[in-house]
Amino acid sequence: MSITLGLVLEQTLNGLQYGVMLFLMAAGLTLVFGIMNLVNLAHGSLYMVGAYLATALTERMGSFVLGVALALPATLLVGVVVEVVALRTLYERDHLDQVLATFGLILFFNELVAMIWGRAAIFTSVPSFLGGHFRVLPGLPYPTYRAAIIVVGLVVAALLWLLVTRTRLGMRIRAGASNRTMISALGVDIRLLYTLVFGLGAALAGLAGAMAGPVYSVQPGMGEGILIQVFVVIVIGGIGSIRGAVVGALVVGMADTLGRAFLKPVLATMISPPAADMAGPALASMSIYLLMAAVLFFRPQGLFPLRGRG
């Protein structure tokens, strides 16, 4: 495989696209962890629920845009129900309890989804109006759908930034992230805030899942694979920090995508091709974990830790 500039650019854009998806998931997860001190392993399940709902609704409505648009509030609703029914008692518990209880939720959701839609992977096609390629640069066609994901992701990131920095809710979120006891002392309705934050996170995860359908396969358990990478993102970025989530998501997205694409050929120039054949993919999938290990080793609090936690 020859490495051309075009290929590098394409993979860079793919890395950006994957990074965007990771960010959507990471933003919700880091807020929930930062504000409610809740480790939520079932965040990936919300991603999965978003994907399935979008797929089902698209089929029902006959329109991709409608399907995604409806899947968002639906996932948000699912998230709110989960929070009220199962998660409220966990805020006071230690992390081990949270990990185990949300692990139980994963089993539940994976099986629920399998019961309704079966265990086989479902493939959704890219909607026609977003199909095909468009020319990013002369000689560089790029799938329109993936570009759309990037655009949506950037728009959402901008909206999120506005929300967090310019609105009252955002102010409470930021205050809550750095000092939980303080905001309850200030009379903010904690339970409502928590539910809102969780709902927001669920909606973001649902959006990621809904957009993921046409690109990745939709099947039970799809949440876990991306979830672990999302945790890597927030550990690298710094828990509770949205800025950290942005940087972490880009770093992880790029590292993973570029690693998978180029590690094998690059290695093949240094060591024998058969060895590169084996080492390349192995190293590629391990690369982001090595990255996380390195960050934790040198800077355990992450790249952009919230001030109170430094």
Partner 1 sequence: MPVSRRTLVLVVGGVLLALVPPVAALTSQPFYLDLVRRMMIFAIAAVSLDLILGYGGMVSFGHAAYLGIGAYAVGIPAFHGVENGMIQWGLAIVASALVALVIGAISLRTSGVAFIMITLAFAQMLYYLGISLETYGGDNGLRLAARSRFGGPIDLRQPAVFYYLVLALLVLLLALGSRLVGSRFGMVIRAARSNEARARAIGFSPFRYKLTAFTIAGAAGGLAGALLANQTEYLTPDFMHWTRSGEIMFMVILGGMGTLFGPVIGAVALLLLEDVLSALTEHWQIILGPILILVVLFAKRGLWGLLVGPEAADG
Chain residues in the site for partner 1 (CB under 8 A)? 33, 39, 86, 89-90, 95-97, 99-101, 103-112, 114-115, 224, 228, 231-232, 235, 239, 278, 281-282, 285-286, 289-290, 292-293, 296-297, 300
- Shortest Å, Cβ 99 to partner 1: 6
Q: How far apart are CA 297 and CA 286, in angstroms?
A: 16
- Shortest Å, Cβ 136 to partner 1: 31
- Shortest Å, Cβ 113 to partner 1: 10
Contact assessment for residue 124 and residue 51, using Cβ atoms and an 8 Å cutoff: no
Specify the residue, 243 or 309, whose C-beta has the smaller distance to partner 1.
Answer: 309
Specify the residue, 156 or 227, whose C-beta has the smaller distance to partner 1.
Answer: 227
Which of 252, 269, 180, 219 lies closest to 26 in space, CA to CA? 252
- Shortest Å, Cβ 289 to partner 1: 4
Backbone angles phi, psi at 141, to 5 degrees: -80, 145
Specify the residue, 210 or 249, whose C-beta has the smaller distance to partner 1.
Answer: 249
Q: How far apart are CA 145 and CA 129, in angstroms?
A: 9
- Shortest Å, Cβ 236 to partner 1: 10
Specify the residue, 88 or 243, whose C-beta has the smaller distance to partner 1.
Answer: 88
Which of 161, 206, 152 lies closest to 16 in space, CA to CA? 152
Q: How far apart are CA 234 and CA 305, in angstroms?
A: 10
Specify the residue, 112 or 130, whose C-beta has the smaller distance to partner 1.
Answer: 112
> What CA–CA distances, in Å, run from 213 to 55, 109, 224?
7, 18, 15
Contact assessment for residue 241 and residue 305, using Cβ atoms and an 8 Å cutoff: yes
